Amino acid sequence: MTSDTNVPSTQGGRFGDPVVLVLTIGFILIFLSASAIAPDAAAQVIDVAFTWSARTFGSLIQLLMLLMFFIAIGVAISPAGRARIGSQDRPDMSTFRWVSIILCTLLAGGGVFFAAGEPIYHFVVTPPAFDSQPGTADAVPDALAQAFFHWGFTGWAILGTLPVAILSHQHYQRGMPLQPRTLLAPMLGDRLARGFLGGVVDAICAIAVTAGTVGPLGFLATQVSFGLHDLFGFPGGYEVQLAILAGLGAIYVTSAVTGIDRGIQFLSRMNVILAMVIGTAILLFGPTQFLVDSWFQGFGTYLGSFFEMSAMTTVTASPDWMKWWTVFFFAWFIGFAPPMAIFVTRISRGRTIREMIIATAVLAPIVTTVWFTLLGGSGIFYELQGAIDLSQPLQNFQFDVATLTVAQALPGGTWMALAILVLTTIFVATTGDSMSYAVSVVCAGNDDPGSALRAFWGIVFALMAAILLGMGEGQVSVLQQFVVIPAVPVALVLIPTLWHGPKAAYAMARAQGVLDDSRSAPAPH
């Protein structure tokens, strides 16, 4: 395959590649129409496809996640890890701002909704990898370990690491567009990657991100509406949810339009600072000793049972449990992976591949386990003390109730709950702005899409969430289930990165003079 660095990376007109735009908007219109005309039938079709995808491809998804993590760590500790993304000597932003953006972009996508509820759920319903008695002190480390696994090393590794190495090499050194299709360029060649097939790949990834982003937007509107009603007696209902969505949309669209170096960076930094303040307050004034002990025990159990949980399948565990927990979360991460990799590539210019992998696949997961311990561990403590009882709501998957209940049981009561609601709102806003930017990049094919394109996708996300909420909260859940379906073809796109990612890293290292030719792997073709 020959390199053609003179081909413009921007494709299509003002709104980018028409194939991506037509297929993505077409999916949105078809989904909304089906939900409006025959909501029960649409939900049933998606549930059947969801179940089949989870059972048929669940093990493949788990294996992909596992291999991605270990191969990425191998690249990080190899000499090629010294290669710099974008061939810059200096990073575009400080380390704190950089890590803040990485943390907020994913953790906001779901961690804020599950950080309180998931550990408590696994505490009252023992996960299949463990045999502790539910609701007892012995179940605490097992519950935390299972939550850590779902939001740990393998989940984070798929979002950056090897795909970032390929995108960095192909875009910044070879002039290929900054799009998911470029992940296949080393295997298919430039011409096929730039053609119609590439457009279809980009559209599938954009659809997966749309489903994964609109879901949290809708859930946030219901959670904040419920919280305001429970805390201050505000009237609930669709009108309040719509107002919340409008305010949220205004925040993240403004942030996306102003760009990474201004709005996105500022919002992420403020979000992390607020999370640190709330986390410190919980640690100092909450069940301090219990939280410290629980984190050490839970993290140790996570490491000790890592491979057992990784190898859990529908044969060794309940198919329904696997479908709604491990496979669902992992498929969600995979759906986000290509656009997230694009985003990480853009914000990591000047960083070494080693720094990028360690920040994404090691540091971020550890921070996540601490956050889950602060909220979920506190909930478990109060559950053990009999101060709260969330067993019934959680078995009905009412995680919004769990978050608010735990928050009110914490020191500060109502004010802590309000602070967590504000934090949750900003968290989700950081997902909205980063994914609006990422989908815009997918459409445009370059790392600086126009502000009109960013605003367009931000508004589309908010409108879709508003329409689905108007049909009923269940339709948001149906869309959330749908994310597993496009995750299957996205996983097929990511499989070649296991081989081509290390090759791209070595090619970058050789081009930058980090390695001698004699020590380098052959350049990707």
- Residue 154, pLDDT score: 95
The pLDDT-based confidence of 343 (bands split at 50, 70, 90) is confident
Q: Which residues pair with 16 in a beta bridge?
A: 13
pTM of the model: 0.91
User: Which of 340, 331, 343, 339 is CA-nearest to residue 486?
Assistant: 331
First to last CA, the chain: 6
The arithmetic mean of pLDDT across residues 187-196, rounded, is: 85
The pLDDT confidence band at residue 444, using thresholds 50, 70 and 90, is: confident
CA 184, CA 497: separation in Å to the nearest integer?
A: 8
Inter-CA distances, 270 with 96, 267, 416, Å:
11, 5, 17
Angle at 210 between CA 7 and CA 21, to 5 degrees: 40
Copy the structure tokens of residue 308: 């057992």
In angstroms, rounded to a whole number, what is the distance separating the alpha carbons of residues 319 and 306? 20
Asked if 178 and 9 touch (Cβ cutoff 8 Å), the reply is yes
More confident residue, 16 or 491: 491
Residue with tokens 């298919």: 188
Residue 9: helix, strand or coil by DSSP? coil
Q: What integer pLDDT is reported at residue 182 of this predicted model? A: 94
pLDDT of 452 > 70? The answer is yes
- pLDDT higher than 50, residue 2: no
Which helix (H) or strand (E) element contains residue 401?
helix 399-409
pLDDT digits (tens, 9 = 90+) for 93-120: 889 889 888 888 766 656 677 888 999 9
Q: What is the mean pLDDT of residues 259-284?
A: 85
pLDDT confidence of residue 520: 46
**Statement: residue 475 has pLDDT above 90:** no
Tell me which of 1 and 511 has the higher pLDDT: 511
Structure confidence at residue 473 as a pLDDT band (50, 70, 90): low
Q: Confidence class of residue 490 from pLDDT cuts 50, 70 and 90? A: very high
What is the CB-side half-sphere exposure of residue 350 using CA atoms within 13 A? 9
Are the beta carbons of 520 and 510 closer than 8 angstroms?
yes
241-259 mean pLDDT: 89
Q: Please, is 237 exposed, middle or buried when counting C-beta atoms within 10 Å of its C-beta (0-12, 13-18, 19+)?
A: exposed
Domains and CATH numbers, the chain: 18-519 (1.20.1740)
Percent of the chain, pLDDT > 90? 47
Are 234 and 240 spatial neighbours (Cβ–Cβ below 8 Å)? yes
Q: What is d(CA 91, CA 353) in angstroms, rounded to the nearest whole number?
A: 12
- Please state the rounded mean pLDDT for residues 344-371: 94
Residue position matching structure tokens 């970032």: 164
Q: How far apart are CA 476 and CA 217, in angstroms?
A: 9
pLDDT digits (tens, 9 = 90+) for 274-326: 889 999 999 999 999 999 999 999 999 999 999 999 999 888 889 999 998 99
Mean pLDDT of the chain: 87
Checking if the pLDDT of 78 tops 60, the result is: yes
Phi, psi for residue 84 in degrees, rounded to 5? -105, 140
Residue 468 has pLDDT above 70, yes or no: yes
Who has greater pLDDT, 51 or 397? 51
Q: Tell me how far apart the alpha carbons of residues 307 and 227 are, in angstroms, rounded to a whole number.
A: 38
Structure confidence at residue 15 (pLDDT): 64
Give the pLDDT band (50/70/90) at residue 519.
Answer: very low
Provide, rounded to the nearest whole percent, the portion of the chain with pLDDT above 70.
Answer: 94
From the list 399, 470, 488, the residue with the least C-alpha distance to 245 is 470
pLDDT tens profile 116-154? 899 999 999 999 999 999 999 999 999 999 999 999 999
pLDDT single digits (tens) 217-242: 888 888 888 888 888 888 878 888 89
Average pLDDT value for residue range 185-210: 89
CA distance 435 to 101: 12
**Closest by alpha carbon to 418, among 286, 269, 223?**
223
Are 309 and 149 in contact, with CB atoms under 8 Å apart? yes
CA 437/CA 268 separation, integer angstroms: 14
